[in-house]
Amino acid sequence: MNPLEATRAAGESRLAQFLPHAGADYTDWRNHDFGPNGDNHVSGLSPWLRHRLLTEEEVIDAAARAHGLTGAEKFIQEVCWRSYWKGYLERRPVHWHDYRKTLDEALTGIAKDKRQNQLLLNALEGNTGIECFDAWVDELIQTGYLHNHARMWFASIWVFTLGLPWAIGADFFLRHLLDGDPASNTLSWRWVAGHHTAGKTYLARPSNIARYTNGRFNPVDSLAAEAPAPPASDRPPLQPIPDEPDFELTETTGLLITEDDLHPESCFDERHWPLVMSLQTTGWRSPLSVSAHVQGFVADALVDAMARNPGVQALGPIDLVDTAASDRLVEPLQTAGIRTLVTPWVPAGPTADALAAVEPILSAAGIRLVKVPREWDVTVWPHATHGFFRFWKAVGPMLSERYAAFEA
């Protein structure tokens, strides 16, 4: 059974419940983690946002209208971090590909080192003897969620106290988090480990953990006292923002729904398609097994998205285990006379990898795959060139102007 209901309606309900708390309550208490059964003052919207059952733009809109941009600024900034990370990785997709290469190399290397391999197994099973870390492992596996502050502490302990490869830790998160996002997850782990900002790492301190867990944990003398930075590497060149493609919606145009954008009705005007196909690519997130919680959440969310986007024919969710399963896509599309398949833009990550593998197969069958970027992404991604606060310096005034009428 999934811990959360993977529907847009459930996300809207969660948003409505949280909105009264998106102002001062969130600002004052967002960094405190009172545990899986505690009254944490965060939105809990991330699983719906990650899969775009809810979009960043509509959540920002709701918060700004309820509290004004100033009143809900901290919450709105946190939502904008998601857009920033997506834009940053989209402009530097090499970081995703380097992460996957680093992960493969780390898994191969650690399997040959008996001591390191046992240390890894202890970490994955929550048997390190570090009380807070082991509790977070259990919480992650059982619920598919960790508070953002706990994620930072966890990653720091993984890298600097346990001395384990950061990429395997990032993969562990991506396999178990219901909100596991290739951009925010990969880049956050890179930041903790010192690969994102030259010379800067994140060190988890016992006093900080004790303060923000309300004394639930206080790992004195259990954690590394230093977090040495790795050698600096060159910044990869920026890639362009995707252009608006040239296409028409006709009787031979079908809709492809992916797990990266499950609200296509806000991207296209069409309300009844000749054919709607949904594609599950969760297995592409990792070379290891992805948790049943994550697989189930995505499968249910795809079903929900298809119900909101009816077609004369409905196919899926089709689980694209590998490219050998592509025949399951091509044959029904050809039978239905589909010549163009449109989908909301899929940013860098596993689903984009899957589509890159499938696209030549579709093309060879005479089917064009058209990926359509959202206006929000095209507007904010160009500003994801450096750190978040340079990004916010550009995006914040844009939002201030948009929501000026809602200031107290």
The residue assigned the tokens 């240390």 is 119
Instruction: Please name which of 157, 150, 106 lies closest in space to residue 128, comparing C-alpha atoms.
Output: 157
* 407 neighbors 114 (Cβ within 8 angstroms): no
DSSP 268: -
* Cα–Cα distance for residue pair 215/209, rounded to 1 Å: 8
* Cα–Cα distance for residue pair 382/395, rounded to 1 Å: 10
CATH fold of 253-372 reads Rossmann fold (3.40.50)
* Cα–Cα distance for residue pair 100/107, rounded to 1 Å: 11
pLDDT digits (tens, 9 = 90+) for 48-91: 999 999 999 999 999 999 999 999 999 999 999 999 999 999 99
26 annotated to a ligand binding site: yes
* Cα–Cα distance for residue pair 161/94, rounded to 1 Å: 28
pLDDT at 209 over 50: yes
> Which range among 30-34, 315-319, 353-357, 386-390 shows the weakest confidence by mean pLDDT?
315-319
Residue 271 pLDDT level (bands cut at 50, 70, 90): confident
CATH of 96-212 among 2.70.98.10, 3.30.70.980, 1.10.579.10, 3.40.50.170: 1.10.579.10
181 annotated to a ligand binding site: yes
pLDDT at 139 over 60: yes
pLDDT at 1 over 50: no
* Cα–Cα distance for residue pair 194/175, rounded to 1 Å: 22
Q: List Cβ neighbours of 99 (8 Å cut-off, separation of 6 or more).
A: 167, 170, 186, 190
Per-domain boundaries in the chain: 8-91+378-406, 96-212, 253-372
Residue 341 pLDDT level (bands cut at 50, 70, 90): very high
pLDDT at 321 over 90: no
DSSP per residue, 147-199: -HHHHHHHHHIIIIIS---HHHHHHHHHHH-TT--HHHHHHHHHHHHTSSSTT
pLDDT for residue 235:
86
Residue 186 pLDDT level (bands cut at 50, 70, 90): very high
pLDDT digits (tens, 9 = 90+) for 217-266: 999 999 999 999 999 888 899 999 999 899 988 999 999 999 999 999 99
pLDDT at 326 over 80: no
The residue assigned the tokens 């990785």 is 89
CA angle 204, 205, 211 (to 5 degrees): 110
For residue 156, how many other CB atoms are within 10 A of its CB?
23
CATH fold of 8-91+378-406 reads 1.25.40
pLDDT at 324 over 80: no
75 annotated to a ligand binding site: yes
pLDDT for residue 272:
82
* 274 neighbors 336 (Cβ within 8 angstroms): yes
pLDDT at 327 over 80: no
Mean pLDDT of 283-294: 97
